[in-house]
Amino acid sequence: MALLQVEDLRVRYGEVAALNGVSLHANKGEFVTLIGANGAGKSTLLRTISGLSRGYRGTISYQGSRIDRLPVHNIVSHGLVHVPERRSLFPDMTVAENLKLGAYRLKDKSSFPSKMAQVLDYFPKLEERKYQLAGSMSGGEQQMCAIARGLMLGPELLLLDEPTLGLSPLLVGMLGKIMKTLHGQGLTIILVEQNAHLALSLADRAYVLERGAIALEGTGKELASSDSVRKAYLGL
Which of ligand ATP, Mg ion, none binds 117 (CB below 5-8 Å, type-dependent)? none
Q: Is 43 in the site for Mg ion (CB under 5 A)?
A: yes
Smaller CB separation from Mg ion, 45 or 223: 45
Task: Detail the DSSP E strand segments found in 47-187.
Answer: 57-62, 65-66, 80-83, 157-161
> How many angstroms separate the CA atoms of 146 and 152, rounded?
10
Smaller CB separation from ligand ATP, 33 or 43: 43
Torsion of CA 16, 19, 20, 23, to 10 degrees: -170
Task: Using CB under 6 A, pick the residue from 4, 6, 40, 167 that binds ligand ATP.
Answer: 40
Element spanning 179, H or E:
helix 169-184
Q: Hey, which residues between 76 and 135 contact Mg ion (CB under 5 A)?
A: 85
* 3-state secondary structure (DSSP) of residue 112: helix
Closest separation between CB of residue 121 and ligand ATP, Å?
Answer: 30
> How many angstroms separate the CA atoms of 89 and 146, rounded?
7
Q: Is 145 in the site for ligand ATP (CB under 6 A)?
A: no
Which of ligand ATP, Mg ion, none binds 41 (CB below 5-8 Å, type-dependent)? ligand ATP
Task: Using CB under 6 A, pick the residue from 22, 31, 32, 36 that binds ligand ATP.
Answer: 36
Closest separation between CB of residue 10 and ligand ATP, Å?
Answer: 12
Which of ligand ATP, Mg ion, none binds 13 (CB below 5-8 Å, type-dependent)? ligand ATP
Closest to 160 in 3D by CA, of 11, 52, 15, 47 = 47
State the amino acid at position 108 in one-letter form.
D
Q: Is 50 in the site for ligand ATP (CB under 6 A)?
A: no
Closest separation between CB of residue 160 and ligand ATP, Å?
Answer: 12
Which of Mg ion, ligand ATP, none binds 40 (CB below 5-8 Å, type-dependent)? ligand ATP
Output the CA torsion sign for 42, 47, 50, 56.
negative
Q: Hey, which residues between 57 and 86 contact ligand ATP (CB under 6 A)?
A: 85
How many angstroms separate the Cα of 93 from the Cα of each of 134, 158, 215?
6, 24, 42
Q: Is 18 in the site for ligand ATP (CB under 6 A)?
A: yes
Q: Is 188 in the site for Mg ion (CB under 5 A)?
A: no
Q: Is 44 in the site for ligand ATP (CB under 6 A)?
A: yes
Q: Is 195 in the site for Mg ion (CB under 5 A)?
A: no
Output the CA torsion sign for 230, 86, 83, 112.
positive
Angle in degrees, CA 52, 57, 59, rounded to 5: 70
Catalog residues that contact Mg ion under the rule CB under 5 A. Answer: 42-43, 85
Chain residues that interact with ligand ATP, rule: CB under 6 A:
13, 16, 18, 36, 38-44, 85
